[in-house]
Amino acid sequence: MDPTTKINIPESTLERVVIVGGGFGGLQLARKLVKADFQVVLIDRNNYHQFQPLFYQVAMAGLEPSSIVFPFRKLFQGEKNIFIRMAEVTHVDPVARQIQTPLGHCNYDHLIVATGADTNYYGNEELERRTLPMKSVSEALYLRNSILDDYEDALTTPVYDDRQELVDIVIVGGGATGVELAGSLAEMKTHVLPKDYPELEVEEEFDIYLVQSGDVVLKGMSADSSAKALKYLEELGVKVLLNTRVNAFDGKLVTLDDGRTIVTQKVIWAAGIKGVPVPGLPESAITYGNRLAVDRFCRVKDTENIYALGDVAYMEEPEFPKGHPQVAQVAIQMGEHLAKNLRYRHLRGEEWEPFHYHDKGSMATIGRARAVVDIPKPEFHFGGIMAWLVWLLVHLFAILGTRNKVVVFLNWLYNYINYNQSLRLIIRPRSVPESR
């Protein structure tokens, strides 16, 4: 692409706000600015918003992918001052106030980096190459295909040891993603697989391992919730290995740091995330976890008119001296706060207000009727079916689109009654013609 080529966006007398990334933070900012006196440009590699907290349910054949994604263009139908472009930002020039994409370049008055986070393998190239991540809908679908493919192959594998490679699963990481995956897999093992694969000895042969480097699961939650989550996992038959790390995986054998090994062909990596900053920003702005250091106004260190939101942003404040947790609520609140500063204080020439994160609590579900919830103020921790109902309600209202809310609710209701969703489909893409 010729670097002089411009993205086809009409010139305007309004200040241009370019938002890179349509996740929770970027989308919240765009929705708040779209009716203000700005020209908004939203750039994302996909043409839809993804509801990340429910990726694991797509991977476990509990939800269809279309029920947790929402097209940007449908969301902004009828709005005149927003322009959506499907592209990846390859470089930013802070001096020229310009970003580069495969479609061409785009000038900006304000640039917001809301690119989120990706899987962190901590420099282990073998694990990056051989394990399965789950940071997008497409990765969740690939994981679903891989799991179901191996179950089908197990039917025609007569040797016990060879069959174990196919049916045993190792999940690395005891955070919310790993715990929710393990719980969902365990319920599938108990209630679904014996019906689908009666020829296999599911209860005796299928093992689910959750490997956690720390001494508790759900480390960011209260001790009470962590203990409850561990109890729920063990009740479901998950083999939880605490204070244990995965050192290597050759595609058929997992080697742990204490020398033990687990035979499996499938390792799901949910052990950490790292920020995905845009190339071209100053090195001095890159900090812990590959995140961008920002001040209390979300401004990226050593830049002007460049801001970062959500998982890619690292902000310290008195109550969070080591930065905020990388969760959706932080991104949403940052997006809303930056929109207020731009929409009201910037346009009026007033002094900006610093950001303060209001922790509304955290939660995780471990299968049907099992969940844990932490509420910080007033401090309250509870689990069981009431926590599970709260989890359902919060996530249901957070999903975009009335149709998606209805579909997800009906899926959950049907699954609660009989555990027998008809979404266990192996969907492979057809080959692409050479002309493409």
Active site residues: 180
Q: Tokens at residue 111, please?
A: 């640039």
| Helices within 47-175 (DSSP H only) | 55-59, 72-75, 125-130, 137-155, 160-167
Pairing relationship of beta strands 82-86 and 38-44 according to DSSP bridges: parallel
What is the Cα–Cα distance from 96 to 378, expressed in whole angstroms?
49
Residue 276, by phi and psi: left (phi above 0), alpha (psi -120 to 50) or beta?
A: beta
- Phi and psi based region of residue 272 (left: phi greater than 0; alpha: psi -120 to 50; beta: remaining): left
Concatenated DSSP letters of 227-243:
HHHHHHHHHTT-EEE-S
With b for 16 or more beta-carbon neighbours within 10 A and e for fewer, the 147-161 pattern comes to bbebbeebeebeeee
Helix (H, G, I), strand (E, B) or coil at 419: coil
Report residue 403 as tokens: 């149709």
Return the sign of the alpha-carbon dihedral for residues 390, 396, 397, 399.
Answer: positive
Cα separation, 380 vs 282, whole angstroms? 42
User: Tokens for 284?
Assistant: 């001095």
- Would you report the helix, strand and coil content of the chain in percent, each value rounded to 5? 35, 25, 40
Q: What's the N-to-C CA distance of the chain in angstroms?
A: 18
Q: Round to whole Å and give the CA distance between 383 and 229.
A: 9
CB 117 within 8 A of CB 312: yes
Residues 6+ apart with CB under 8 A from 250: 126, 130
Specify whether the CB–CB gap between 212 and 229 falls below 8 A.
no
Sign of CA dihedral 211, 214, 217, 221: negative
